[in-house]
Amino acid sequence: MSSGVDLSQFFETFFDEADELLTDMESLLLELNLENPDIDKLNGIFRAAHSIKGGAGTFGCFGHLAETTHLLENLLDLVRNGEMSLRKEMIDLFLETKDVLTDQVAAYRQEEDPDEEAYQRICAQLRQLAEEHKKGVSAPAAVVAEPVVAQAVVAAAPAADSQNLPLCVRVQRSSAKDIAVLKDEMAIMGDVLHEQSTDTELTVWLQTTASADDLIAVCCFVVNEDQISVQREALPAADTAVAPSVAEVPVEAPATVVEEKPAEPETAVAEAPEAKPAPAAKAKNSASNNARSESSTIRVGVERVDQIINLVGELVITQAMLVQTASTLDPVVHDRLINGIEQLERNARDLQESVMSIRMMPMDYVFSRFPRVVRENAARLDKQIRLVTKGQSTELDKSLIERIIDPLTHLVRNSIDHGIETPEKREAAGKSREGTLTLSAQHQGGHIIIEVIDDGGGLNREKILKKAMAQGLISNDNIPDDELWQLLFAPGFSTAEKVTEISGRGVGMDVVRRNIQSMGGHVQMFSREGNGTTTRIVLPLTLAILDGMSVQVGNETFILPLSHVTESMQPTTEQLRQLSNDDHVIHVRGEYLPVISLGDIFSVDGAETDMTKAIAVILQAEDMRFALLVDHLIGQHQVVVKNLEANYRKIPGISAATILGDGSVALIVDVFALHRLTRDRVGSLS
């Protein structure tokens, strides 16, 4: 019977929930203790697989996903029931299965067929594990191979009197809404012989081929396990002769026959109804002990959020225009208008901050994927490494949080490969055999500080010096440590004695710095030989808004990111020194800084050519300070960042653009591009 409902409209929600469940599954698998696995974690892993299987079965067009999760679920059920002992190779297989499931979800999301070879391979491995268990035990083995069929046979076979009684499902301390959902669920699971319910309790007598564990698993999608009890129990005396329509249907009737067809995808038939009330969402929400509300969360596409952010940005620009226009009015005559514009300015700022907060995500989104990275890479190198995470709840803009994953992965792998020593070396150095790798995140002003800290051997100054001098990066060995460490981010620079699967090709660290700079951030490194290394990433919280200093060159206005501005001054003749025809330095507090003219860089007509009449803005970019010459300082204000490359084209030295209060466009200077230019000039002069 067709309901006429187009289920494809729910695909995206299912994919999102499947991704969340797979992430949770991986985290729980990595947390399992082989000797004494936590039953709550095992149940959580099982429920994740069961939810995905049920959802995939509902739609009927995700066969590979349904079958893979079905095989995984069978094995997980044996583990959580104590019928199969957990081993390291099983965890590895379950993690590999999770990877295959992730790829399958991604393929279905793109309306593509999943990788057939990967599907066949992982299913064969799961079946082999089930077969090995089947040969090692007697009676329970049949449950592994065909669990649904086995249950049907048991239900129809002669048994003790108690086994002929219906299953009685009791749910307590629930809500009226959940009870209504559970009634529907029980009707799907079998024939309801009798039910009793109040606003907070439900009791159902069920004739079903499902086991008690199956019924508990289904109920757990709606309520917590401690609210449920299932046991075989006779019907109440007054109801022993109930519902002729029920009595006329034998237990072995069509429901059992449908589930016994081995050629049919049983998850699509037997499990489809289970997933009807969005089990993934209910499994996630049940942890709140039913203190939940329909309006507590809402899933919205990122593109809609971005559209709102763009519209708010336009509102802020319009408000800035009104402020600039109102600044020419007489405050006595137009006091109500000016007060209204000031109120609009405050409201626009609050609205902007609120909308931006919608796009913020916790760093746990990033950190949660590294336990797997550390576990597998440490095992590959025969190292013992413990991962510690701090500040997981620290929030960062979604656009940045996704782009920081690759740089962090490079740094983590680098610490595992080059930083933390083998257990034998650590023990010889008087350290614990187990190394510690720490990922931390914290807010500091308008930035987020992300650190990768290891307690390994630290950086070898002499080795790095020798390599740097051999490559011509430096000419003397008096370079300070902080400047020397920055050479590790130079293209092609690597001190690795051999190339490994993890790192050592001399491409990773350069990519790290380049990616972080493209996000408006910078990277620093600190190390003490023998005591470990800290790599610090400093990022703005968002790229949508920028605190900037507006400067004028000729008739053009440019924006300098305020986070890079340290001070400004008008140079004197005594401060300036000429090194060549085009190169100058300025003496500031005992330090000679390179001088760059913004007018020269962008060939601005009418720019001031007399350095003593210009303004020198001192900028800090990573390890270098330099002076940027401009004609005038206009002021400091917040600007809405517009992507120049998407709307026009990429311009060297310019990172983005903004619209000013008078409606004109101002270009935002790429300080890191100027930093590279300055560094190249200094290098050529040295």
Give per-residue pLDDT as tens, 3-42: 445 667 778 888 888 988 999 899 899 988 888 888 888 9
pLDDT tens digits along 118-159: 999 999 999 999 998 888 753 333 333 333 333 333 333 334
Residue 498's pLDDT is 56
Tell me the C-alpha distance between 643 and 650, whole Å. Answer: 9
Estimate to the nearest angstrom the gap between the alpha carbon of 127 and the chain centroid. Answer: 32
Residue 5's pLDDT is 54
3-state secondary structure at position 627: strand
Strands in 473-573 per DSSP E: 522-528, 532-540, 545-553, 556-561, 565-569
CB atoms within 10 A of CB 679: 16
Percent of the chain with pLDDT over 90: 30
Decide: 15 and 109 in contact? Cβ < 8 Å. Answer: yes
The lowest-confidence range among 76-80, 325-329, 429-433, 494-498 is: 494-498
pLDDT tens digits along 242-253: 333 333 333 333
Q: Span 93-108, mean pLDDT?
A: 93
Tell me the C-alpha distance between 20 and 17, whole Å. Answer: 5
Q: Span 230-250, mean pLDDT?
A: 57
Residue 298's pLDDT is 75
129: tokens are: 């594990």
Segment holding 16, helix H or strand E: helix 11-31
Tell me the C-alpha distance between 95 and 107, whole Å. Answer: 19
Is pTM beyond 0.85? Reply is no
Q: Span 647-660, mean pLDDT?
A: 83
Residue type at position 166: P
Decide: 205 and 235 in contact? Cβ < 8 Å. Answer: yes
- Of 151, 23, 165, 17, whose CA–CA distance to 77 is shortest? 151
Q: Span 509-523, mean pLDDT?
A: 85
- Of 685, 517, 679, 473, whose CA–CA distance to 596 is shortest? 679
- For the ranges 180-184, 265-269, 550-554, the maximum mean pLDDT occurs at 550-554
Residue 116's pLDDT is 93
Statement: residue 283 has pLDDT above 60: no
Residue type at position 382: D
pLDDT tens digits along 416-473: 998 999 999 999 999 999 999 999 999 886 788 999 999 999 988 888 888 888 888 7
3-state secondary structure at position 360: strand
Q: Span 586-604, mean pLDDT?
A: 90
Statement: residue 296 has pLDDT above 70: no
Beta bridge partners of 447: 444, 540
Tell me the C-alpha distance between 110 and 119, whole Å. Answer: 17
Tell me the C-alpha distance between 320 and 322, whole Å. Answer: 5
If you ran DSSP here, which 8-state letter would residue 210 be given? S
3-state secondary structure at position 404: coil
Residue 679's pLDDT is 66
Beta bridge partners of 536: 451, 524
Segment holding 167, helix H or strand E: strand 167-171
CA atoms within 13 A on the CB side of 64: 22
The lowest-confidence range among 44-48, 73-77, 538-542 is: 538-542
- For the ranges 207-221, 290-304, 548-562, 637-651, the maximum mean pLDDT occurs at 548-562
Tell me the C-alpha distance between 492 and 505, whole Å. Answer: 8
Residue 445's pLDDT is 67
Segment holding 202, helix H or strand E: strand 202-207
Q: What is the 3-state secondary structure (H, E, C) of 388-453?
A: EEECCCCEEEHHHHHHCHHHHHHHHHHHHHHHCCCHHHHHHCCCCCCEEEEEEEEEECCEEEEEEE
> Could you identify the residue written with the tokens 């930093």?
675
Decide: 526 and 544 in contact? Cβ < 8 Å. Answer: no
170 vs 546 pLDDT, higher one: 170
For residue 281, what are the CA distances in angstroms to 13, 14, 52, 229, 650? 9, 9, 11, 23, 43
Tell me the C-alpha distance between 631 and 448, whole Å. Answer: 33
pLDDT tens digits along 49-63: 988 988 888 777 898
Q: For the stretch 343-363, what's the b/e string if a residue is b when 16 or more beta carbons lie within 10 angstroms of its beta carbon?
A: eebeebeeebeebbeebebbb
Residue 491's pLDDT is 77
Residue 157's pLDDT is 36
What average pLDDT does the chain have?
Answer: 80
Decide: 99 and 107 in contact? Cβ < 8 Å. Answer: no
In this structure, is the dihedral angle defined by the CA atoms of residues 453, 456, 462 and 464, taken in order, positive or negative? negative
The lowest-confidence range among 92-96, 176-180, 644-648 is: 644-648
3-state secondary structure at position 543: coil
